[in-house]
Amino acid sequence: MTLSRLVSELKLPPAKSNGIHRLMRLLVYSGFFATTKMLDENEEGYVLTASSKLLLKSEIPNLSRFVRLMVDPVFVNPCQSLGDWFLGNETNPFEAVHGASLYEFCDRNPGFNKVFNEGMASDSQMMCLVVKDCKQVFEELDSLVDVGGGTGVIAKTILATFPHLKCTVLDLPHVVANMPETENLRYVGDDMFQSIPSADGIFLKHIMHNWSDEDCVKILKRSRAAIRDEDDGRKGKVLIIDIVLNRNEEEAEMKEVKLIYDVLIMVLLGGRERTEKEWEKLFLEAGFMSYKITPVFGLRSLIEVFL
């Protein structure tokens, strides 16, 4: 689409053409769009790139709602208050600005809670693009518990590729209340710090980076108990999807975004992203013997943790 047509389609005053040109110039440089020579026009046209296609609401999956969440003032304002937080005593900048933790704020504000849940679901839907690349990880399992799995978006995605699995979604009671179950998908309302149902695999996507090292060890110990049965000798594994910092294969741009995520998690929840050595320390402290890291999820890696 040419600049003149873009201004027309957006129903903007012609006087704003120069401003749109300058904005698009930045977005082209940033990789959100590209330019091409139009065959029937005397000017260049803008075309979509892989990045901008991810933001199309007409495409499934897409990240449009996830990006909307990331730029919501509820998230942005605490980032602008780091200085005040460093000088204060609040747990994290989010609580300093909003007077409540992120999850408490969601409970009190249904409008933002909807934006938050849609953003998380949007990110989880991207799982369908990579599950097929991890067949051996899931094929050897008969049962799986998705801890903190919300409304079951990831569990349903996994079941679509591995229908033999018996999946359980564990989340707080109010999150999973009245969720429709199927033969292979059930919901359990409970606290992961108190109990995790038994299964061959425990699945933790974007859970661990929310918590302190002490709390992560508690979650891992609960997971360890859930995949081990002393009577029948059953031994399963824990599957973690999270960021691993300082990987040798990561590009400079990837490292930058990972470090941004680390600060964002600090701002929102007081959590952190971790290096491989920091992950290993948690696993050993929780009683696990070995692990395997596979960087197949873009920014994130799949971490298999074994007894």
Q: Which residues are catalytic?
A: 209, 242, 273
Using the structure block, give the residue that is written with the tokens 């998705």.
146
Gap between the terminal Cα atoms of the chain: 56
Q: What secondary structure does DSSP assign to the chain, as a single string?
A: -BHHHHHHHTT--GGGHHHHHHHHHHHHHTTSEEEEE-TTSSSEEEEE-HHHHTT-TTSSS--HHHHHHHTSHHHHHHHTTHHHHHHS--SSHHHHHHSS-HHHHHHH-HHHHHHHHHHHHHHHHGGGGTGGGGHHHHHT-SEEEEET-TTSHHHHHHHHH-TT-EEEEEE-HHHHTTPPPBTTEEEEE--TTT-----SEEEEES-GGGS-HHHHHHHHHHHHHHTEETTTTEE-EEEEEEEEET-TT--HHHHHHHHHHHHHHHHHHS---EEHHHHHHHHHHTT--EEEEEEEETTEEEEEEE-
Distance CA 26, CA 28 (A): 5
Q: Say if residues 185 and 244 touch (Cβ distance below 8 Å).
A: no
Taking residue 255's Cβ as centre, other Cβ atoms within 10 Å add up to 14
